[in-house]
Every structure is written in C-alpha cells, then in structure tokens.
Amino acid sequence: MLPQFIDTLIEIKQLPRIEKFQILAQIEGVYIPSLYTPIYSSDGQLVAIKTIGSDIPTSITKQTWKGNTLSHSTVITPDAVWPNIHMVEVVRSCPELCRFCLASYLTLPFRSPSLQEGLIPAVEKGLTVTKRLGLLGASVTQHPEFLDLLNWLNHDRFEDLHLSVSSVRASTVSSIMAKMLARRGCKSLTIAIESGSEKIRNLVNKKLSEEEIINSAQYAKEAGLIGLKLYGMVGLPKEDLSDINQTADLLLRLKKRTSGLRITLGVSTFVPKAHTPFQWNGVCPESKKHLKLLAKKLKPNGIQVRPESYGWSIIQTLLSRSDRRVAPVIALVRGSQNSLGSWKKAYKAIQEADISNHANPLLSLPKPPHWEEVIHQNWDTSRVLPWEHLHGPLKKESLIKHHKDSLNQATEDTQKN
C-alpha cells in the first residue's frame, strides 16, 4: 500500500488538510479516524459507525504483502534492544489459529519466503557485519524449509555464528533440529503450551499433546541445551482451578523427566484482542489468584516462574476493548504512576465528570461503559464492536464460528470429565 500512498501524498501536497484526507481515504487500507463517527444509543451503547461525507468508504480492508520476502534488520548496532543481532523474519502469521492469537489471525495468510530467493539473501546481508543471527516469526519452525535453513547454517563458514530463535511449536521440534540449534550456539528452547489442561488447549485450538511437550523437552536436554522456557496463560475462557492445577502438575512431571534442564514458565494473563475469535471474551476475574497459585506450586520445586504483570494485562484489555471514549482517560492518566490503580482512578473520574457539550469533541462523547463490562464481561456476538468498520483477513462470520466452536468444545470436554 505504501508506494500508492506516498505517490498520492506527493501529488496532493498543496491541497488543504481535509481535502487530502478525503483523497487518501480512497486508497484501500487507509483509515482516517476523523472521517468516521460513532453513533451511540441513549444508554451509551455503540450502535453504528458512520462515515462523515458520502464518498468515504464505509469500511477499511487491511492490505497484505504477498511478495517472496519478509523483513530483516537494516541497522545493526550495539545500542539496540538486542545488541548486534541481525534479525530475519522467517514466517509471517501462523496457520494454527489459536483462538486468542492476534499474530496469527490479523496477519493471515501464513507466509513463508522461499529459502533460496527469500531467506538466504536476507541472512547473508546481515552476516557480513555481525555473527549474531536471530530468526523471528510467530512460529518459525513451521517454515516448510526450516530444517534446510539450519542445514545451510551448518556449513563450516558459519562456525562462529551465534543463533537464536523465537518461540517454536512443540510438535515441530525434532532431535535433529534441537542438535542443530545447539551446535549454532542456542542455549535454550522456548515453546508455548498455554496450559497443562487438555480442555483449555482444545478450547484455544492448540492441537498439542502432552507427549509432544515432553518429547520436545527431552530432545532439548539430549541436544545439550541448558534451558527450556514454556509460555503459559491464565484467565482464558472457561478456566477453573483444576486447569491451573493440571498446568502445575505437567510442569512438575516435566521437571522430573528432564532433570538437569532449567525449566522456566513465563505466564501471562489472557488479553482479548480485536479480530480474534476471543475478542468477545472478557478476562476471567480469578486470573490474579491463578497466577499466584502457579507460582506457589512451582517455585519451591525448582521451576522459575516469570509472571507478566496482572495490572498491565488489565490495562492492555482496557485499551484493546474500548472505543474512542477511552481517549480522555489516557489523557488524564498521563503523568501519573502508570499503575492499574491510576488507570482505574482516571476511568472513574471521566465516568463521573460532567462533560456533556464539552468544546472538545472527544470529551462530548457519552460516558464510557462500566469498567466490568469492558474488562471482564463476555460480549454477545451481535454487539457492534468499536472496530466494526475495520476488516481483517477473516470475515466476522468466520470469527463467530471459531468462537462458538471453541466454547462448545470446552463444554463437551467438561461433560466427558
């Protein structure tokens, strides 16, 4: 989209701002928020999003790059967050469609550049200036030629290469792969299991068996890697205490079966994301308790637990699920301590303020919905969403189907048990 956008911008640069907006809004994929206005019912529910001006497109469809290349670092410096690493994006999106996963749903279709024309030239470019290579992507090992890429990196001329890979899918890890990663300087393997409960893994469409998780841990250990990092999540729909206990039990079993391997659990709280099937699901109010329980069960048994801040997950949920009525809250929270308490205080202040007919159009919007409704409530799929006019790769009907299938699957699994 960018070439067309930039060419148009150059052509119209002398026009007044509003005319520029009206012309740029005609380019597929360009969203100009000020050309759209939300319509609210008398009780503050969003009922529609209308265009301002009849010739503005009523919806915006996300554009997708379909070439045989993805991104790679263009600046390599010791001052970067990851110093001196040449990052190469190996895949974009992920075909697994875990129901909460924005990285998969919003960037569909799954794309994997060819080894010879896409990946090798991208890797070679950076290796002229650094020996550190990072392979990135939502699920790098799902690249159909990933093993061939490792084989190519196995060449003598890469002897002093230091390779790191982002999280890998457990079912794709093999003994050969683990050994090749170890040979090129990888110290640990990271896999996302989400939960030790099969019910929850089925619910999120994880398609991952306990055997596959244990096998990948064993391959990591046999290859000489020193650590295994697992990603988990609490607060997913339908989760209860028994699911948390099953996660703790699985990790304890793993620890026993692979003694000597340093096991770490990075655990976050589920945050509903727009354009995923779980966008209608609120955060389970018990999440904080569940995070604490996992730490209590695992830490004394030699498993490191790295929980993501519960407070920040709730702030993320607020930003993720709100409409533009959250703008005055963001403005008010600015300069405060940036804690969940500050955000709640600012939200309450905006809800209680008399801001009708305010000169600032953002402040003359109706009051934002109740905190509980935004953060914890499950929304009906018929609800008009704040991003209703922005279209991702899948139609809303497909997202609703995935949402319903997941919840039905969880109900069936609960009944079986």
By C-beta, is 94 or 161 nearer to ligand SF4? 94
Q: Which two structure tokens, joined as six digits, stand for 286? A: 């018990």
Pick one of 25, 76, 138, 350: the residue that binds ligand SF4 (CB under 6 A).
138
By C-beta, is 103 or 214 nearer to ligand SF4? 103
By C-beta, is 146 or 158 nearer to ligand SF4? 146
Q: Which two structure tokens, joined as six digits, stand for 210? A: 């306990």
Q: Which two structure tokens, joined as six digits, stand for 199? A: 């019910």
C-beta of 104: minimal distance to ligand SF4 in Å? 3
281 in contact with ligand SF4 (CB under 6 A): no
Amino acid present at 363: L
Of residues 61 through 100, those in contact with ligand SF4 by CB under 6 A are: 94, 96-98
Pick one of 85, 87, 90, 104: the residue that binds ligand SF4 (CB under 6 A).
104
Of residues 153 through 182, those in contact with ligand SF4 by CB under 6 A are: 169
How far is 361 from 148, CA to CA, in rounded Å?
57
Listed in order, strand segments (DSSP E) in 292-368 are 304-307
Give every CB contact of residue 170 below 8 A, 6+ residues apart in sequence: 191, 193, 208, 212, 213, 215, 216
C-beta of 370: minimal distance to ligand SF4 in Å? 30
| 214 CB burial (10 A radius; 0-12, 13-18, 19+) | middle
Pick one of 70, 122, 189, 192: the residue that binds ligand SF4 (CB under 6 A).
192
139 in contact with ligand SF4 (CB under 6 A): yes
How far is 67 from 298, CA to CA, in rounded Å?
45
103 in contact with ligand SF4 (CB under 6 A): yes
By C-beta, is 171 or 322 nearer to ligand SF4? 171
230 in contact with ligand SF4 (CB under 6 A): no
C-beta of 96: minimal distance to ligand SF4 in Å? 4
φ, ψ of residue 16 to 5 degrees: the values are: -65, 155
C-beta of 203: minimal distance to ligand SF4 in Å? 13
How far is 132 from 201, CA to CA, in rounded Å?
34
C-beta of 292: minimal distance to ligand SF4 in Å? 24
In the three-class reduction of DSSP (H, G, I as helix; E, B as strand; rest coil), residue 86 is classed as strand
How far is 123 from 388, CA to CA, in rounded Å?
39
User: Residues in the site for ligand SF4, rule: CB under 6 A?
Assistant: 94, 96-98, 101, 103-104, 138-139, 169, 192
